Structure 1
């Protein structure tokens, strides 16, 4: 498979009120990442887009696809009103490092796989300007293997953890309530219910909140995954996010551990029958390997089971 990021969709909710910023993908049939002769960054190679243009609206069709992920029953109009209220509290323009010809935006995407144990990747991970971690992935006690630097924490309400004042809080919303949760949990407190417990209060720097557009999920599902699985995993969406905000992307902590199990590096696995559920885990992993083979990213596999 040959990947062409000619018109990558970018991602983050921004102005106007129900808007999102994303670069429209003109050619859906296949895509590659192009490197320009006149380099736009100071990396050895740069992930670039030759001719982006921005669209500031989420369509009702995209909304209708998204609302089915967790059986959202409310309307497109309610979504718009909720997002308008969201922007009364959080910044309309995402805090993204802009490309410069004299600067290399390096990005480490750190998954939670047990293959990070005994990897000694920690110092290498911490050298990156941007370090993206997922959900409840912890660092304390595991610094030698996973590092301790976090600039962006990707999660959803049911997996949310507090972040410090210097870390970007990057929620992936799956339903309208996820926007409402962040509004309330960061102010007066959230009292609603979800399919599993959610925190009533969350500590985060409101100026560093970057909400990923619901249309981004649809784009990743259709273009990158060919509609396989019900929707992409958080880890895979975080990787594609990194391809759009960094010049150089290095990936750690994805895939099964050395025994072939889907474990987390901070826990001793008792249930060895875990699978990737609604996500096409094997297909996502194969794409990551192909991107590495094509030298679009560098994939540090860790202690994985060699097949």
Structure 2
């Protein structure tokens, strides 16, 4: 039970970073739904059917009062071979689900064959974690040794390590990213970390299949910038983040418009896009 609570708390913070980070770096590609009609309005919350519930979010879109029931459902941190049983994620396209991705995910998992944290992490009695982004706020802060003191260090996207150990530390437990955010130089990757995909669009799963099977990555596969063509990790060191946590962070914690589980241009549900 202690491990489940820890994993839920970790994913709560992690998915907030992922959703907000992806919104920031790709906002120029999107035409998001209008959040507010004027400076005095509030963001409305929606239930699973898209019905308005009330003004539970502040002007920045964050939940005003944290619900203790959030993430109470025991969910695997990573997708495993039972992913088809999760009705909650089968109903939505990426990034909030896996609709239409069954064959790609099955092909990936048939090779990776690992779906949990490493035994070393599972055996830790005290688990303290820290999440490090790639915004540059740690430059010249000399916090590297303090970061390395944490049991689990999660780095997002291309957050650098080599050459910046004094400021950002040298330990990496999980590196969570998507194709456009992944480091493109193999020598930049850490030897002992897990590589975790946060799939924001269907092309991301296709890209991971290329990586796992060591196939040629095509630059014309719908990416909005150049992507890594190789990740120096063996298949058992690769995971897929469960979209359930992105879904909860986006709709419940941040209060994004439900829009039938799509983020898109305009108000019609038929104009949704699978990218945040």
Normalised TM-score (structure 1): 0.53
From 218, 228, 233, give the equivalent of 1:204: 233
Task: Give the Å deviation of 1:65.
Answer: 7.1
Q: Which residue of structure 2 aligns with residue 63 of structure 1?
A: 93
Task: Give the Å deviation of 1:132.
Answer: 0.7
Give the distance between the partners of 1:216 and 1:6, measured in 2 at CA: 8
Q: Which residue of structure 1 aligns with residue 246 of structure 2?
A: 217
Give the distance between the partners of 1:198 and 1:132, measured in 2 at CA: 21
Q: Which residue of structure 2 aligns with residue 82 of structure 1?
A: 104
Contact 1:167–1:208 under 8 Å retained in 2: yes
Give the distance between the partners of 1:228 and 1:122, measured in 2 at CA: 38
Task: Give the Å deviation of 1:201.
Answer: 2.2
Q: Which residue of structure 2 aligns with residue 170 of structure 1?
A: 196
Q: 2:217 aligned with 1:190, yes or no?
A: yes
Note the 1:135-174 alignment, pairs <5 A: 135-161=157-183, 162=186, 163-174=189-200
Equivalent position SS for 1:62: coil
Point out which structure has higher relative CO (alpha carbons under 8 A, 6+ apart). Answer: 2
From 79, 93, 99, give the equivalent of 2:115: 93
Give the distance between the partners of 2:105 and 2:128, measured in 1 at CA: 31
Query: In 2 relative to 1, CA 2–166 (structure 1 residues): closer, same or farther, beyond 3 Å?
Result: same
Give the distance between the partners of 1:64 and 1:188, measured in 2 at CA: 23
Equivalent position SS for 1:221: helix
Task: Give the Å deviation of 1:167.
Answer: 0.9
Q: 2:256 aligned with 1:227, yes or no?
A: yes
Equivalent position SS for 1:115: coil
Equivalent position SS for 2:122: coil
From 50, 69, 78, give the equivalent of 1:12: 78
Q: CA RMSD in A?
A: 3.0
Return 5+ residue gaps in structure 1 as ranges: 20-54, 68-74, 232-277, 280-307
Q: Deviations over 1:208-239 (max 9, x none)?
A: 212112232111111211227999xxxxxxxx
Return 5+ residue gaps in structure 2 as ranges: 1-64, 262-274
Structure with the higher helix share, 1 or 2: 2
Normalised TM-score (structure 2): 0.58
Contact 2:144–2:170 under 8 Å retained in 1: yes
Give the distance between the partners of 2:108 and 2:88, measured in 1 at CA: 15
Task: Give the Å deviation of 1:2.
Answer: 3.7
Task: Give the Å deviation of 1:190.
Answer: 1.7
Give the distance between the partners of 1:65 and 1:212, measured in 2 at CA: 10
Task: Give the Å deviation of 1:92.
Answer: 4.5
Query: In 2 relative to 1, CA 179–225 (structure 1 residues): closer, same or farther, beyond 3 Å?
Result: same
Contact 2:154–2:175 under 8 Å retained in 1: yes
